[in-house]
Structures are given as structure tokens and as C-alpha cells.
Amino acid sequence: MLCIEFSDIIQSNKHQVDVLTEVARKHPDPQVPAACQAFSRQVRLVESVVEGTYVIAVEATRKSESLQEIAQVWQATGSLCDKALGVVSGLKDRYRYCGTPELHDRLLDYKLACTRRYEQVQEEILCQTMPTPEGLFPSLT
């Protein structure tokens, strides 16, 4: 059976985010129809990559028994969202009619969801290290 690490998925998908910058560099004038078409196509691809990574993260964390691994998955997925947000934030005003404002909003939603899940896992990790308070449970003796 072929096995792939989650970090490989993240790395590959970060490359797709970098391509968005390349398309913007190659098509600096969004008023040119071909430029907006090319840019919009890459915007949809970045959206698909982030959405797909999020879905994979959900499945991966369901199957993991390690809270540390789960935290790493959400941290890495959030990092992908951060990278995409950094790129899209710099381009959303110039390419406002090519789908970037909508992508920016969806990326914020995914980033927030990743952050929440990461924080929940961190809280669960912390709870496992805390001693049970005296008197919380009735004594069996």
C-alpha cells in the first residue's frame, strides 16, 4: 500500500499557492481578459487545494490516536491557509473581479476553523496533564 505523509501534501499544495503569484506576475494587468481568466483559474485551483487539504486533515485526524499528531495536522493546515492568505491579501484589490475577494473570505473561514481545532486539541492535551482535583469523584472506600 502506498503511504504519503501529511507534510508532503502540505508542501505540494503550498506550491500551488506559489503558482498564484507566478500567474499574477505573468499577467500584471487584470483588465486584460486573458489575464483575469488565467488568474481566476488559479484562484479556483488554490481554493480547491485548501478545501481538499482541509478534508484530508479531517479524515487524518479522525484516524489518529495521538493528540500531538492531530495538533500537528491542524497547525500545518493552518500554515497552508496562512500562506494562501498572505498571497491573496496582496492581490485581492488588484484582481478584485477575478475571484480573489471571495477566495480571501473562504481562506479566512478555513484558517479560523483550523485555529479552533488546533486550540481544542491543545486544551485536550493540557487537560490530560492536569491532576484530578481531590473530592471530584466520590470515594469508593
* Mean pLDDT, each 10-residue run in order, the chain (141 residues): 85 94 93 91 96 96 94 98 96 93 97 98 91 80 66
Alpha carbon distance 89, 83 (integer Å): 10
Question: Angle 81-84-87 (CA atoms, 0-180°, nearest 5)?
Answer: 150
Q: Quick one: pLDDT at residue 109?
A: 98
CB 25 within 8 A of CB 42: no
C-alpha cell at 111: 484558517
CB 10 within 8 A of CB 52: no
Q: Quick one: pLDDT at residue 1?
A: 65
Count of CB atoms situated within 10 Å of the CB of 71: 20
- With CA atoms as reference, report the closest residue to 105 among 87, 122, 120, 88: 88
- Give this prediction's pTM: 0.88
